[in-house]
Structure 1
């Protein structure tokens, strides 16, 4: 991560690097998780309203609608979280719907690396009812699955903010499977010393601002590049779960996002 705060800390001996980094700053939407408590049983009432933006807890689920299952195993998928699109600030080039509720379900099993498409499910509600009489509020049928697959019990409220980053690791020529961002010739005499001697001593460069992001590019950690080499499309959601530091990634074709079509999203999970 090379954000404006880290750029401002660059010492005078590397001052010539600053303009290059500042010119390559790109916006994204940072996600921060605020813990609300824990649901120790599927019989416990949720800690947030059914239509609120949240990580964990129970989903918004109208009566008469099935809870999603894995197509291969016929087991219930874990509800990862949901986003009220009206809560999300606008980001140029990231055409998330301006209203409605976007939900993420996963077939997360801790020992797994890359997911196949049948092991996640995304559901989008263009319109949302705030009458709890229209909704399923009893999720006791999930108790066995929660215990069997060690689902997350903690509930978090999600907050969003517009931030900027260079995403240099992802965009650099070192990862040509991604989007090249070459160091200018005039900086090469100081770049190696700056990048490897100063930059990698800064703890911030490996730390997400918050717990994840919408839009922008994913963070590149030592164990991530191989996992993301086959990722195609635009980053929809990156999430570092605050409970165990597992990274979730969802990618979507930009045109599909413009159409609010979430039927072909690809997903990955990486354990720290």
Structure 2
């Protein structure tokens, strides 16, 4: 567990800051082969048959960004305890920014490679060129305790009138929530256009990464957010997706 230590300058506001704490699972990537049901960036998703692979309204295969095996995660009580989450966006050079996305929840799955699709059925050169990363890889997780991100609008509403200018600047610097993660708070490079608040859950953030060459546009990242009530009901049609760059 990575913990956040309240700086001496902010000790007076410790209760206020701790009241915003959330757990996140930080993601580290390694360029390794993965089994069909493992947590991964790119590669081949868990598929029983090729016909199960998602396509858009025109029949074009969507871009498979990531898969999360929920059993790998810790301290994220909002999520189902088991199953797979798969993240797909439109197959075009804007990474599906203005198109419908798909977050697919597979509650039960089998761990028998012989019965599953083991090679991505649509991964040609055009497909690869539209991906926001260079290499697929396996995900590893570490739990973090984090205060509210200074890039969400709610941060200003929560702290601006309760901290001095110096204190506010210090907390803003500390609450820089980049890096890839599940849970916790998102990092918006430009602005919090989706209005992430207390009732939302960060389903996935993919940020710049050298190991797998993740890059959305010019030094950008992406965010998948869902209302907690929709997550409780396993209604992943309510997921909001955004990516931003410099």
CA drift of 1:80 comes to 0.5
Structure with a larger share of its residues in helix: 1
Deviations 1:163-183 (A, max 9, x none): 222215226463xxxxx3145
- State the match for 1:35 in structure 2: 30
- State the match for 2:70 in structure 1: 85
CA drift of 1:205 comes to 4.2
- Unpaired stretches in structure 2, ≥5 consecutive residues: none
**Contact 1:76/1:142 (CA < 8 Å) preserved in 2?**
no
CA drift of 1:260 comes to 2.1
Equivalent position SS for 1:30: strand
Correspondence list, 1:120-159, <5 A: 120-147=101-128, 149-150=130-131, 152-159=133-140
Distance 1:121-1:53 versus aligned 2 partners, 3 A rule:
same
Provide the rounded CA distance (Å) in 1 between the counterparts of 2:91 and 2:222. 9
Instruction: Using structure 1 for the length normalisation, give the TM-score.
Output: 0.72
- Unpaired stretches in structure 1, ≥5 consecutive residues: 38-46, 175-179
Provide the rounded CA distance (Å) in 2 between the counterparts of 1:168 and 1:84. 25
**2:204 pairs with 1:237:** yes
Deviates more, 1:140-149 or 1:79-88: 140-149
Structure of larger gyration radius? 1
Report how many residues are paired.
235
**Contact 1:28/1:162 (CA < 8 Å) preserved in 2?**
yes
Distance 1:55-1:69 versus aligned 2 partners, 3 A rule:
same
Correspondence list, 1:178-197, <5 A: 180-183=157-160, 187=163, 191-196=164-169
Equivalent position SS for 2:46: coil
**Contact 2:23/2:145 (CA < 8 Å) preserved in 1?**
yes
**Contact 2:205/2:221 (CA < 8 Å) preserved in 1?**
yes
**Alpha-carbon RMSD:** 3.0
Deviations 1:200-222 (A, max 9, x none): 6x5x54353xx32222332243x
RCO higher in 1 or 2 (8 Å CA, sep ≥ 6)? 1
**2:183 pairs with 1:218:** no
Deviates more, 1:131-140 or 1:83-92: 131-140
**Contact 2:70/2:80 (CA < 8 Å) preserved in 1?**
yes
CA drift of 1:91 comes to 2.5
Instruction: Using structure 2 for the length normalisation, give the TM-score.
Output: 0.79
Provide the rounded CA distance (Å) in 1 between the counterparts of 2:71 and 2:225. 21
